[in-house]
A = this chain, B = another copy of it.
Amino acid sequence: MSNADSSIKQRIKSLGLQLPDVVPPVASYQAVVEHEGVAYVSGQLPWRGGALITGRAGENMSLDEAREAARLSALMVLATLNDFLGSLDRIERVLKLNVFVNSAGDFTDQAKVANGASELIEQVLGPVGLHARSAVGVAILPRGALVEVDAIVAVVAD
């Protein structure tokens, strides 16, 4: 367990990543709810250095900026899980990601944007990070966020 742990921790470090501080829900919901080995992760927004990345792909944000925002949202999914589980080693398999992209009506690269999230998850977790996924373009996201990512994750008992 501690070997695996240090291997994920090392991978995070070697990727030049750092798990961000989690942003606790401000209302009567929870960041993660677990039931019989399946954890539901609330929609996570893209934060960098404590600042939320806002904007709309195809309007005032480029594909690359949106892909980076998807990556940061996915990093927040991992930070949230780490906070809830105590260790990312307890992830047995990422089952599903939903990637919502704040999109102009003619921006059609949601799949490429979502790859930013998918690749980050796989880079950090390896094969257990391989997931099913839906990516859609939406009119607007909370606080004007550029991307929102939620997840369903199989976890092993503590």
A154 within 8 A of partner (CB):
yes
Interface residues of A in 78-137 (CB under 8 A from B): 92-98, 100, 103-111, 114-115, 118-119, 121-122, 130-137
- In the complex the two chains form, is A108's CB within 8 Å of B140's CB? yes
The complex is assembled from copies of this chain, and their number is: 3
Interface size class on chain A is: 35 or more
Given contacts A26-B111, A30-B131, A122-B28, contact A35 B95 (CB under 8 A): yes
List chain B residues, Cβ under 8 A from A46. Answer: none
Chosen A-B contacts, 8 in total, with CB atoms closer than 8 Å, are: A28-B122, A29-B118, A29-B130, A35-B93, A40-B132, A42-B134, A136-B142, A137-B139
Q: Which 8 A-B pairs have the closest CB atoms?
A: A43-B134, A137-B140, A40-B132, A40-B96, A29-B133, A27-B115, A42-B132, A110-B142
